[in-house]
Amino acid sequence: MAVCILSVLYVWTLYNIPILVVGVRHLRRSCQKGRKKSSLGKERLPTVSIVVPVRDEERVVGRLLKALLRVDYPPEKREIIIVEDGSVDKTVEICGEYAGRYPDQVRLLHQSVSNGKPSALNYALKHVRGEIVAVFDADSVPEPDCLMRAVEYFEDPSIAVVQGRPCSINADENMLSKFISYEEAVRYEAYLRGKDVLNLFVPLTGSCYFVRRSVLKEVGGWDDKSLSEDMDLSARLMNGGYKIRYASDVRSWQENPVNFGQLFKQRVRWFRGCMEVSLKYGKLLRRIDRRCIDAEITMFGPFMFVPILLGYLLGIYGFLGSIHPDVFSTVMAQGTMLLTTVTLFLIGMALFYVTKPLKVGNLLWLPFIYFYWSLQAFIALYAVLLILLRRPRVWVKTEKKGVVRNFALNVGSW
């Protein structure tokens, strides 16, 4: 059993290391070059429909609408569609106020009964008019050049979807929010960047993404029953042969969980949703195509936390002297530890480059990764049990407080 677990971890780590290496190398080069200004003329700009589903978001929706109205994009070529999804707080009043003040830019759609985010997105899809559909969450604060940079990618007709980079707006609120902000920075700027450079599967992440309306219609929009509508859409796009690009220069700021209760609820939904999508689209493995194979491996990722947890438990059991490993098991364990060390080194390099200004002190967060991975592993195990026990799917919304705690931001105008 120990050998089987170590073998799975060995292969998984060995597969992902080259992706991280490529991502870190590309990240280092991009840090040296800096961000380029958009070069598209007004006459070449496509129309854009910005869709935001909201429910009980009175603390953040006003900030979002203010930021969207300040986006550097011709007002006549964009529309903001707010789908109010059964709120019981002041969300409706706030959205209605903006729709009344800016009737030519903001449209408010209302659903009296909430059936989750994907249902709200599908309702909006019936009303969009833009060539490009942009999706943001209620706590998002897109940067002013977000749309302009995103539409540049669609100059390439082979690109169907662009995934931007969500950044943490409350990274400095506490230790957990800081750690999650670093985790997501490495995930986007090293892992997804590496996948993009290698022309592998780039999954959507729920917010700050842009998709051609014609493509959305072709694949049938979002799955109302999915707990991970972004991953489900990613799988269907891959199944249809469409290309997703990761755009690190397209940025939006959003909140991260600040306590373990929020994190647990959020990740259970993410993990279970992703696991169910991986089982649903196992047919992708029938194709002899590296992108399809990579897609299934990526979607299978949350399942890998289970052998990681078992590996931790076996390590503790062995440390207590209850296991007497043979030579092969010892070699496998040492090999896995070596690959894990290499992974941690690459994560450390990514952390060094991903923060502004560059800080060697970010490497001090690396020892906490083991604890964090252990926590994630227990959450993933719980998600597996929910699937095995066929518990009802429940869309749990992560509560937002509208807190801005990131010392790298200039937030005076928000």
Please, what sign has the CA dihedral across residues 376, 377, 383, 387? positive
Residue 188, pLDDT > 60, answer yes
Predicted confidence at residue 367, as pLDDT, reads 73
Domains located in the chain, CATH noted: 2-25+287-388 (no CATH), 49-263 (3.90.550.10)
> What pLDDT, on a 0 to 100 scale, did the predictor assign at position 304?
86
Q: Ranked by mean pLDDT, which of 110-114, 369-373, 389-393 comes out on top?
A: 389-393
Q: Which pLDDT band, with edges at 50, 70 and 90, does 408 fall under? A: low
Give the per-residue pLDDT at 358: 61
User: Is 60 exceeded by the pLDDT of residue 398?
Assistant: yes
Please state which of the ranges 180-184, 286-290, 316-320 shows the lowest mean pLDDT: 316-320
Residue type, 365: W
pTM of the model: 0.89
Tokens of 357: 């200004």
Sheet holding 132-135, edge to edge: 106-111, 78-85, 48-54, 132-135, 209-212, 159-168, 243-254, 141-142
Whether the Cβ atoms of residue 219 and residue 236 lie closer than 8 Å to each other? yes
pLDDT score at 379: 93
Q: What are the C-alpha distances in Å from 77 to residues 49, 51, 65, 153, 164? A: 9, 14, 17, 17, 20
Q: How far apart are CA 255 and CA 137, in angstroms?
A: 10
> Distance between CA atoms of 142 and 253, rounded to whole angstroms?
6
Mean pLDDT of the chain: 86
Q: Residue 304: how many CB atoms within 10 A of its CB?
A: 17
**100 CB-contact burial (10 Å; exposed 0-12 / middle 13-18 / buried 19+):** exposed
**Residue 108: closest CA among 86, 129, 82:** 82
